[in-house]
Amino acid sequence: MKKQFLEIGRIVGTHGIRGEVRVQPWSDEPEFLKQFKSFYLDGKGEEAINVVSVRPHKNIVIIKFSGIDTIESAEKYRNRIIFINRRDAKIEKGRYFIQDLIGCRVYHIDNGNLLGEISDVSQTGANDVWHIFDGKEEYLIPSIPEVVISVNIEQEEIKIRPIKGIFKDED
């Protein structure tokens, strides 16, 4: 089941003396966070916090929240996870939230065999690597178009054509 509120980053510290916070984003690009007018401090959407400004800075994002105007008030948010409402997110076709991939069943496109479920996703820079667990062992596959044939988040099914040698039963 898809979550409505998704983890998107962690507040790792303050920035300056006017209440800005530094956020380590959990997205492909720090700019992704610029599209949101509010974030949430819980996974249920009960603690909304409005955004005044968002600006990427190297590999972090500096955010100014409404009502947080001093370094002391910003410090209270250190190490808090921030969430987004899925409804507010605009993502490109063919892109997915990692949280939606976890738990999806992975099938071999050519023979229909169940290969396992996605248990984790590593972001390597060049491409993501999906961890597929079959109940006994974990296999790593690159998330590239030559391997990932189709993704159906609604059905929690993914079809792949694995590179030879990844799964033991292949030549």
102/151 Cα distance (integer angstroms): 12
Could you tell me the CA-to-CA distances from 72 to 12, 13, 14, 66, 165 in Å, in that order?
A: 14, 11, 9, 14, 55
Residue 55 is predicted with a pLDDT of 95
Q: Residue 159: what pLDDT?
A: 97
Decide: residue 32, CB within 10 A, 0-12 exposed, 13-18 middle, 19+ buried. buried
- pLDDT tens for 16-71 read 999 999 999 988 788 999 999 999 999 999 999 999 999 999 889 999 999 999 99
Q: Specify the pTM.
A: 0.78
Helical H segments across 22-165, by residue range:
71-75, 98-101
The CA distance from 78 to 166, in Å, is: 41
